[in-house]
Amino acid sequence: MKRNTWQREAVRDVLDSGDAFVSAQSLYSQLRDAGHAIGLATVYRALADLAGGGEADCLQSAEGENLYRACATGHHHHLICRKCGTTVEIKADAVETWAKTVAAEHGFTQAEHVVDVFGLCASCGSALRSIPPRQ
């Protein structure tokens, strides 16, 4: 039987309180700093449960860290600020059908897809107006 503990609630609360992707480690630090004596393993377990239950989205940062974010709605994609992590959910039916089509054209079945757009959000972008884009 699934039980409700204050630890799970705490993790859920942190996720719900922000619209940016957070790593398990940083979420753990936040809770610790806030005075909650939660364990790291518990944070990982809670996040995995939330992601598995569809209450959170999970994506990998460029550094290979798993990042989580609250989300109740169905399948969608993300537009993520690579500076502050702020995220906008995107519905893109065109991309869904494109992915399915392109897979079928090459004989692939059971297609899933990873589609995320990274950039600088309006505020982070304007803060860097004088600095030339990297690369």
Contact between 106 and a second copy by CB under 8 A: the answer reads: yes
- What single-letter amino acid sits at 88? V
Q: Report the partner that residue 39 touches, choosing among DNA, a second copy, none (CB closer than 5 to 8 A by kind).
A: DNA
Contact between 84 and a second copy by CB under 8 A: the answer reads: no
**Contact in structure between 80 and 67 (CB atoms under 8 Å):** no
Q: Report the partner that residue 53 touches, choosing among DNA, a second copy, none (CB closer than 5 to 8 A by kind).
A: none
Stretch that binds a second copy, among 14-22, 23-31, 38-46, 110-118 (CB under 8 A): 110-118
Q: Report the partner that residue 93 touches, choosing among DNA, a second copy, none (CB closer than 5 to 8 A by kind).
A: none
Distance from C-alpha of 135 to C-alpha of 131, rounded to nearest angstrom: 12
Stretch that binds DNA, among 19-27, 82-90, 94-102, 126-134 (CB under 7 A): 19-27
Laid out side by side, the sheet with 22-23 consists of 22-23, 66-70, 56-60
Distance from C-alpha of 122 to C-alpha of 119, rounded to nearest angstrom: 9
